[in-house]
Amino acid sequence: GENVEQHPSTLSVQEGDSAVIKCTYSDSASNYFPWYKQELGKGPQLIIDIRSNVGEKKDQRIAVTLNKTAKHFSLHITETQPEDSAVYFCAASTARDSSYKLIFGSGTRLLVRP
C-alpha cells in the first residue's frame, strides 16, 4: 500500500550545523513531495516542496533533493538556528481519479542546541 518512511525520528544538532532528514515513498506514481514544519500546538506549515520533474530545489537555508529512481527524497537545513527546532514531516502526493491526497511520514523532531 501507500507508505512514506521517514528517518531519523529525532535529531539533535548544534546551532550552525546542518541537519538532514530522509524519506522513502512506495507509490512510484507519486510526483509531488512537500515538507512541513509543525511547532507545538500549531498546524503543519509548508516550508518547501518539489515536483518530480526537478531533482533539487533550494530556498535560502533549506533545500530538498529527489531521487525518483530510488524513491528517496531529503530535506537539508544549513546553518541551523534555535528557531528551526520543531517537528518536520515529509509527504508524498498520490492520486486517484485526478484527486490528490498527501501520505505523511511519521515525523522528525529536530532540536537545535544553542
Partner 1 sequence: DAGVTQSPTHLIKTRGQQVTLRCSPKSGHDTVSWYQQALGQGPQFIFQYYEEEERQRGNFPDRFSGHQFPNYSSELNVNALLLGDSALYLCASSFGTGGKTQYFGPGTRLLVL
Q: Where do contacts with partner 1 occur on this chain (CB under 8 A)?
A: 4, 6, 32, 34, 36, 42-46, 49, 89, 91, 93, 95-107
Least CB distance from residue 73 to partner 1, whole Å? 14
Choose between 14 and 96: whose C-beta lies nearer to partner 1.
Answer: 96
User: DSSP letters along 42-79, please?
Assistant: S--EEEEEEETT-SEEEETTEEEEEETTTTEEEEEE-S
Least CB distance from residue 50 to partner 1, whole Å? 11
Choose between 2 and 15: whose C-beta lies nearer to partner 1.
Answer: 2
| Cis ω before 82 (30° cut-off from 0) | no
